[in-house]
Structure 1
């Protein structure tokens, strides 16, 4: 397999003529974090998610010396290549209109799995990520009945399977780069609402291949960036006026099953509906208050509102503990951060997974270093990062 070229000059966009783009460029997209409303959203309540500063980056270039498409995913140890003529022979091109995103038919999905030597009943997200790539490659690049040999390398700062939107960032990067390769979105990188909608819609199709029935929240956050508010059954509301806020993100590395946790909360809800409804209402009130504070922070002196943000984090964590989705590892994170003057909560399904602590502007570096050291000694991974990041981006 041909080695990826590390020459930075080859990994930038080179505009030659209006409407034309070279076939070598870099795009990136952020991960996501649920700030407030996890679990409550299942019961029709408002939740808030934000884009992380941790990003996935995709390098793409056209291959001229062989008729292959190569995909490098070093973070998960995957290096694969397929013959372009063999892909074209296995799939009837064109698959669909690339400007009208649609999911693959069951027949096409099984053909792609067979071609990639992936079991038809596989639920492994890492292997299904390869199938999602093949689908987007055929649907977008093969729209004119021909496929271009490409080499793609995707690297990420996001941990995999941690509830931080790593697959969505992967999908968004793929969608944007392939659409750009086919000149279906602006070559300038200053993407219109129509461009972003097309990227988001294709990323959602990729997410369907990987996860089956995704909510669409993760790919929306990764596409548009900043933050979104959402309720079950409604389109996400993009929030562009979001303050830049620093957080300490902590991965306990404790595996958990979202499905099992959701089911356990449902049992409690069915048993004590009145009480659990009140808890869900409280979590929604926290999410709504968070949006009000974000607006105030964006327009005024942000430092004034950090104490109120901490209060919301504390209240939400208490509610999550009440519904039984905390974990001894998450409680250890909360204990260590609290002892050092920080406020934290779990994010996502709970039962392990990740938590985050708000970093106020007045927190000394020495304190933060001490917290990170203590958490690391517990075996946890830590990232000092931020929320409110830009969405999918073309790097010129």
Structure 2
């Protein structure tokens, strides 16, 4: 195998953000804005990583990297627990200060750690160039780091031969077996630990399996046979702290339990009703009534999130603007700014969508028309890789 191409989707929360912290159901969904990776085997005795989205281009001598691995062959590196000693060596090697969390440093550490772990039992570390480009904005709560970790995991495991290589198949895009996906997910979760410290595991699971996932009290359950829904995704670009917003909701729940606990119960009910509606859309066929229910649930959930204290004037303006055009929106993620999703039912007037996009951009927001419920990690033949992505990655 001389080269391979993989991609993985981002994620957003359809319903249940914040309530999930209090043990309620949340529905996480794959977002068909994807991260793309191309791996090329070389003979340079060097490891290259190119990350044009964050202006990061690094290279290392593979023999110098080999010295960082435990000397004993019995010291296998776990795919379920981070090796603290190796992480310390990598921080020193890459010049990343302890406690540093900047995007570029974390992306490099994540890549180097997975590379060394996956190839830890190789006599000679392979030379390769790995280039990654993403449609996902960073720091927007859309699972960009998880999509990156999933792509890196899948590519390195394929290159190692631990999972099947795309060159063993004839199809243009290929899914791995369930066992292989589980292995990809386990390594991607290690990458998420490096980047985020204590992740829930939801983002990398969505990036691996795609579709819709139900999350409650630490348990992640993929929902089978669910529809793909067309949406408009908007990034208000208003910065926010997830930690502070989660704390705000917790304080409100403690201060006003008789008010807030019923709101959390209501959010939980909306997540469950949405899950039921999605199942019906698959088994019975999607009807106008189903879409009307989904729109009602989005409106109600947005009001609940305002009550919980995680709304923002930018989000209110967005919801009012889209509603004036007959479209229904809600925040996705932590709130307090950040991103929102707008449902686009099949009968939506296309010219109206273009006008909404223009008005949102006039407010200073970024917009993407995309879909939720997209497939998880995929391998691509060179011909099936998006031409614009191939053109971008060909530069590196």
Do they superpose with TM above 0.5?
yes
> Which residue pairs with 2:146 in the alignment?
168
SS of 2:264's equivalent? Answer: helix
Deviation readout 1:263-288 (Å, 9 max, x if unpaired): 01111011111221100000010000
Deviation at 1:190, TM superposition (A): 4.1
Deviation at 1:242, TM superposition (A): 1.2
Give the counterpart of 1:239 among 223, 248, 268. 223
Provide the rounded CA distance (Å) in 2 between the counterparts of 1:256 and 1:232. 25
CA RMSD of aligned residues (A): 1.3
SS of 1:313's equivalent? Answer: helix
Deviation readout 1:232-275 (Å, 9 max, x if unpaired): 232x1011311011000000001100000000111101111122
SS of 2:27's equivalent? Answer: strand
Tell me whether 1:262 sits opposite 2:246 in the alignment: yes
Tell me whether 1:50 sits opposite 2:29 in the alignment: yes
SS of 1:169's equivalent? Answer: helix
Provide the rounded CA distance (Å) in 2 between the counterparts of 1:169 and 1:95. 31
> Which residue pairs with 1:319 in the alignment?
304
SS of 1:142's equivalent? Answer: coil
Tell me whether 1:337 sits opposite 2:314 in the alignment: no
CA contact (8 A) 1:53 1:386 kept: yes
CA contact (8 A) 1:172 1:392 kept: yes
Provide the rounded CA distance (Å) in 1 between the counterparts of 2:339 and 2:160. 38
> Which residue pairs with 1:204 in the alignment?
189
Tell me whether 1:308 sits opposite 2:293 in the alignment: yes
> Which residue pairs with 2:264 in the alignment?
280
Provide the rounded CA distance (Å) in 2 between the counterparts of 1:202 and 1:101. 6
Deviation readout 1:86-117 (Å, 9 max, x if unpaired): 1112333669647x513332221111011011
Provide the rounded CA distance (Å) in 2 between the counterparts of 1:285 and 1:145. 55
Cα distance, 1:255–1:190 mapped onto 2, change above 3 Å: closer
> Which residue pairs with 1:87 in the alignment?
65
SS of 2:287's equivalent? Answer: helix
Q: How many residues align?
A: 372
Cα distance, 1:96–1:213 mapped onto 2, change above 3 Å: farther
Provide the rounded CA distance (Å) in 2 between the counterparts of 1:97 and 1:320. 46
After TM superposition, which residue ranges in structure 1, 4 or more long, deviate above 3 angstroms?
Answer: 93-98
Provide the rounded CA distance (Å) in 1 between the counterparts of 2:124 and 2:13. 41
CA contact (8 A) 1:125 1:211 kept: no
CA contact (8 A) 1:96 1:143 kept: no
